[in-house]
Chain A
């Protein structure tokens, strides 16, 4: 047997272990350790492991992960989800399907303060779904808009998934975050346009809201979101101008969110403790996966599987398009079972040499992967935000309806994905014109 055979065998064993409920971090570490012991013996393996525990964690660029998490939890406790929805509602409610459109806009706005959509799905769902149902909105439209729009937080920076991708592929975190802004805005606009068109054609889906909104109310509502605007500009402007690195922007953004939490009089023992515990929990969870992945990646590299795969693709003269198609299908499939970060940990170490061989722009590819991950968050049977929304609505809307409500949104997400694949400029224009090196 050649060494890459052991690599392939290891990969299959890994999938088997994951299928029988072994936590992914444990499975990665076990197979990685076993494989390395087999291929390079105990002395080299143990020496590498002992130093890797420290080095795969204590790295300056990695501080962006806990700091963006902290920023998100502070923003959540500052009540920014509600503020985002309330303002969007006043500005957009008069449009056809206005409350659903406002939900999408509110989620996009909140996504610019938080790195993950799960918290947003819960918070936004509690605010906007009862409001939509009260005015007679279709249940599928109401729940679907929250479940789909909450995932925008994954694409709109800050984004934990993006930071993890950047770490795994060694691209600049700042550049990747910048690349996410326009695709994020595009995704939001596509979702809003779809709601508008559908309600235009079938007004029963979303009856007009009966209340009048004056311009003075609209202007007044802006005072609730000035803090958010400054927060977004600080992070966006800081990274774009090259004034700060991604980690520094995360720290400054977290302080900004903390100040907003104090200003909203939401800082107390319970919210502070919850922010600390949630940050610790998610940080530990993500990094244990990363530690496991670094061990597994070490084994994969020694076994030569990634290089072999790259050779096969070059010999088979597979085009970039073919490879992308395979990647898309694989991710949609994996997205049915795996969470976003595990999905990247399993695939990227093997894919990376292939991508480099084909000279694929890793920032652009990153945006496509993140978009695919986002789609994975809403695809049945295990779309995470769908279950969060279901948890919020309780028994008022059956699970089948929540999933049925997703289809239109899913179709739009796939449309946006295609646009992003065919027009790489949308992703690349911001990072390419950045002043800093990121």
Chain B
């Protein structure tokens, strides 16, 4: 169980690192395109590619963010509650995430499949394939949903377990 957890952590961190590295690449692409366009010629397809690269930059880190519990939430109204009650609420919150983003993942999967079948691309100076990027949306949200399930289990254990739960500083 512990080893499985470690593997998941490595996976989540790698996904986030890839997302960050995409921004690093995006930096060069946007800058070269901007300067090239003024001085000589635009980078073919740079505009279309830079839009598509936003998808991995946004969706791949989602699992890591959930693992670190860094999705923005408000604790002001519940700080006085006992820790078990807070854990219960956090477990329910994770289940809400599972329902909403589970649905969105399913919708995104369907959309990605359709895009794949027709080979969706955008016409620029060179044609930029869009369909591979469509798959990254359900990949990112799907992994987040999986992590949310783990969060829910963990929080319900804290809420109902025999062991007195310790407070967590977030």
Contacts and interface: CB of A to CB of B under 8 A. Distances in A.
Using C-beta atoms within 8 Å of the partner chain, give the interface range for chain B.
Answer: 35 or more
Interface stretch (A52-60, A78-86, A142-150, A215-223): A52-60
Given A21-B73, A58-B51, A62-B54, A49 B23 contact: no
Interface string A55-79: 0011110110011011000000000
A113 interface: no
A435 interface: no
B93 A21 contact: yes
Given A53-B104, A275-B20, A277-B16, A22 B72 contact: no
A296 to B, nearest CB: 12
B64 to A, nearest CB: 7
Interface in B23-68: 23-24, 26-31, 33-35, 38, 47, 50-55, 57-62, 64-65, 68
B55 A58 contact: yes
Interface string B4-26: 00000000010011011101101
Contact of B137 (A53, A59, A69): A53
Given A59-B51, A289-B72, A19 B30 contact: no
Contact of A276 (B20, B73, B78, B101): B20
Interface string B126-169: 00000001100100010000000000000000000000000000
Contacts of B55: 54, 57-58
A285 interface: yes
B89 interface: yes
A251 B93 contact: no
Interface in A253-274: 254-255, 258, 273
A288 interface: yes
Chain A binding surface, main DSSP class: helix
Using C-beta atoms within 8 Å of the partner chain, give the interface range for chain A.
Answer: 35 or more
B20 A342 contact: no
Given A20-B77, A276-B21, A285 B104 contact: no
B27 A284 contact: no
Given A57-B55, A276-B17, A281-B68, A247 B137 contact: no
Contacts of A281: 16, 61, 64-65, 68, 70
A152 to B, nearest CB: 22
Contact of A382 (B53, B73, B76): B76
A128 B52 CA distance: 42
B125 interface: no
B154 to A, nearest CB: 15
Closest 9 CB pairs of A and B: A276-B20, A248-B34, A251-B30, A284-B61, A280-B20, A23-B71, A280-B61, A280-B19, A251-B31
Interface of B: 13, 16-17, 19-21, 23-24, 26-31, 33-35, 38, 47, 50-55, 57-62, 64-65, 68, 70-78, 86, 89-90, 92-93, 96-97, 99-101, 103-104, 107-108, 110-111, 133-134, 137, 141
Interface of A: 17-27, 29-30, 33, 46, 49-51, 53-54, 57-60, 62-63, 66-67, 69-70, 243-245, 247-248, 250-252, 254-255, 258, 273, 275-281, 283-285, 287-289, 336-339, 341-342, 381-382
25 contacts: A19-B78, A20-B89, A22-B93, A25-B71, A27-B96, A51-B111, A53-B141, A54-B134, A57-B58, A59-B51, A60-B47, A62-B54, A66-B54, A247-B50, A276-B16, A276-B24, A277-B16, A279-B23, A280-B17, A280-B23, A281-B64, A281-B68, A283-B19, A283-B20, A381-B76
